[in-house]
Structure 1
Amino acid sequence: MNHHPRKRFGQHFLRDPIIINRILALIDAKPGQQLIEIGPGQGALTTGLLTAAGALDVIEIDRDLIEPLAKRCQPFGQLCIHQADALQFDLCTLLNDSCAAAISESIPASSTQRLRLIGNLPYNISTPLLFHFLKYAHCLDDLHLMLQREVVERICAAPGNKTYGRLSVMVQTYCAAEMGFIIHADAFYPPPKVESALLHLRPYLQPAFALGNRQHHATLVATAFAQRRKTLRNSLRELISTAQLIAAEIDPNARAETLTIAEFARLSELTCNPHISP
């Protein structure tokens, strides 16, 4: 496939066959599963996913890649290409209306089977894409994503770790997160300037924490980490009083990086519904 990678789309095409096979083995796609690939590019993973599952939906923004991708994948299975911006795409519209559902009698209209998401995400929009995917976590079974190594480390970080921050809290509130293997720059063309890593997310079937207002929770977390060296008493003074922090059994002199996912959820509920006891 003769296509010059476009910088404006953040294109770095995966080309190392060993890495490709390792990723496909971890995904372990099966017939009947509803798979979605974000940014299939030149089809490095696409052909393997199709071979394993028989059907696949892909979301690709670069219209110049669509025709060659369709031709390359034609022998391997049923490919449904959506020429769209993944940041604007409602993933839940594919639930039971995917390429796999269209050809498989094993997925009835009333099925509760969720989608599996795979993608080599552009570095320049990886964080906005992650937050977009979280909006559809209830429709997703799992996600296998290639991201900048530093971003994956931040997502999977634990409280007290220097890389623990807003991204860690927001992702781990809704998903179990696991860092996979490192992918060196020379596995891609053109090679990026940084290492990548594989990230596996599994959204919780039932929310780990009952958040009455997800937007309020997001604002609270962002505010707490905006000036991470400040104590919570100071960083959250516009959202929560010292008395409320104490009532929630949280040290007002603590910093955001020390709070657990559960403590952030508790603070969110307390400040969103001030009459609820901690």
Structure 2
Amino acid sequence: MAHSKVVQGHQARKRFGQNFLSDDFYVSKIIESIAPQTDQHIVEIGPGLGAITQHLIQRAGMLDVIELDRDLIPRLENTFSHYANFKIHQSDALKFDFTQLQTDPEQPLRIVGNLPYNISTPLIFHLLKQRHVIQDMYFMLQKEVVERICASPGSKQYGRLSVMTQYYCQASMLFSVPPGAFSPPPKVESAIVCLQPYTNLPKAVSDADILAKIVTAAFNQRRKTIRNSLKQWLQPEDFEKVGLSGTERAERLSLDDFIHICRYVEQSG
């Protein structure tokens, strides 16, 4: 098969976007960043061959792992099922209900994962909907995606993912991980991002769905001015009322600007 590589006896599958972390230096660095504690409930998405799992299991109070690839389940069970604090779920993380894992309302989940690049954005949005049970998230993603999440207005990386993630979370890029740290090596550089959902949103809107629609419309046509891309919501004379020029483009608007637009739209019905 041209599209796969045998790693530790497992056929790495292209359709699952499998690139297994195999460099101990980066495994240790990730574990240090997460700093799991014995009173914490950790959820690992896509444990793969267990490079990170083996460190989490020894330090976490509870560890749930979510793995889509059925061929990996028996291996993970053989290696980890003798730990009393370990539970495995054969499931697609994009459809998984993370709220069911929370056993103690006082103890939010900490989510960890080396995410397949093809699902990283939808998965982050899926988790943000369940953020009330999540303390923080540490993800290995394509570096370009991490740069988009953490981007500031005015940069070409800045877009819908930046605005909506930063509305819900404090986001920080921790460090890069080179292709050679994986087996098989991906074609791109990776990076670790930390997302900490706000317990109370610093600047909340009444209807986050409206905010999401406004942000999506603005960035769907990045080349257009906001007067054109947001005409479904704002008349030309409304821009002055929200303190913006209709000739701006979406990437110049800050999260605060989008919040002002959303509140104005909510108030004017």
1:242 and 1:205 map into 2 onto residues whose CA distance is 36
Deviation at 1:71, TM superposition (A): 1.4
Residue 130 of structure 1 is matched in structure 2 by: 124
Distance 1:238 1:54, change over 3 A: closer
Determine helix, strand or coil for the equivalent of 2:227. Answer: helix
User: Which one of the candidate residues 230, 237, 241 is aligned to 2:224?
Assistant: 230
Match for 2:229: what amino acid? S
What residue number does 1:40 align with? 47
Give structure 2 stretches of 5+ with no counterpart.
1-7
Query: 2:41·2:61 contact (CA, 8 Å) conserved in 1?
Result: no
Asked whether the 8 Å contact 2:20–2:182 carries over to 1, the reply is yes
- Counterpart pick for 1:176 among 170, 173, 177: 170
- Mean CA deviation greater in 74-83 or 169-178: 74-83
CA distance in 2, matches of 1:113, 1:235: 42
Q: What secondary structure sits across from 2:94 in the alignment? A: helix
Deviation at 1:130, TM superposition (A): 1.1
User: Which whole-Å CA distance do the structure 2 matches of 1:181 and 1:259 have between them?
Assistant: 27
The CA deviation string for residues 3-45 of structure 1, in whole angstroms up to 9 with x for no partner, is: 1111111111111000000000110000120100000011010
Task: Please report how far the alpha carbon of residue 273 of structure 1 lies from its aligned counterpart in structure 2 after TM superposition.
Answer: 3.3
Q: Which moved more, 1:72-81 or 1:256-265?
A: 72-81
Residue 114 of structure 1, CA deviation? 1.1
Partner of 1:65: 72
Instruction: Report deviation, 1:227.
Output: 1.3
Q: What is the CA–CA distance in structure 2 between the aligned matches of 1:78 and 1:218, rounded to whole Å?
A: 38
Whole-angstrom distance in 2 between the partners of 1:41 and 1:128: 20
Over 3 Å counting, the alpha-carbon distance change for 1:270 and 1:136 in structure 2 is same
What is aligned with 2:5? none
Which of 206, 212, 222 is residue 212 of structure 1 equivalent to?
A: 206
TM-score normalised by the chain length of structure 2: 0.94
Residue aligning to 2:4? none
Question: Match of 1:10, SS?
Answer: coil
Give the C-alpha shift of residue 137 in structure 1.
1.4
Quote the Cα distance in structure 1 between the aligned partners of 2:131 and 2:245.
Answer: 32
Q: Which residue of 2 aligns with 1:247?
A: 241
Give, in angstroms, the shift of residue 73 of structure 1.
2.0
Structure 1 residues 67-125: Cα deviation after superposition (integer angstroms, max 9, x where no partner) = 111211245552100111000011111112xxxxxxxxxxxx4x422110000000111
Match of 1:26 among 29, 33, 38: 33
Kindly indicate whether the alpha-carbon contact (under 8 Å) linking 2:40 and 2:61 is maintained by their aligned counterparts in 1: no
Distance 2:34 2:14 in 1: 28
Q: Deviations over 1:51-77 (max 9, x none)?
A: 111430011111111111121124555
SS at match of 1:131: helix
Q: Which runs of structure 2 are paired with 1:1-278 in the superposition (5 Å)? A: 1-74=8-81, 78-96=85-103, 109=104, 111-274=105-268
In structure 2, relative to structure 1, the CA distance for the partners of 1:3 and 1:86 (3 Å cut) is same
The answer to whether the Cα contact below 8 Å between 1:51 and 1:77 also exists between their aligned partners in 2 is no
Backbone CA RMSD of aligned residues: 1.3
SS in 2 for 1:26: helix
TM-score (norm 1): 0.91
- Percent of counterpart pairs with the same letter? 47
Contact 2:68–2:90 (CA<8 Å) still a contact in 1? yes
Distance 1:82 1:74, change over 3 A: closer
Q: Which amino acid aligns with 2:21?
A: L
After the TM superposition, which of the residue ranges 67-76 and 212-221 deviates more from structure 2? Answer: 67-76
Q: For 2:66, what is the secondary structure of its paired residue?
A: strand
> Which amino acid in 2 is paired with 1:45?
I
Q: State the number of aligned residues.
A: 262
Q: What amino acid sits opposite 2:99 in the alignment?
A: C
CA distance in 1, matches of 2:27, 2:83: 16
Greater displacement, 195-204 / 87-96: 87-96
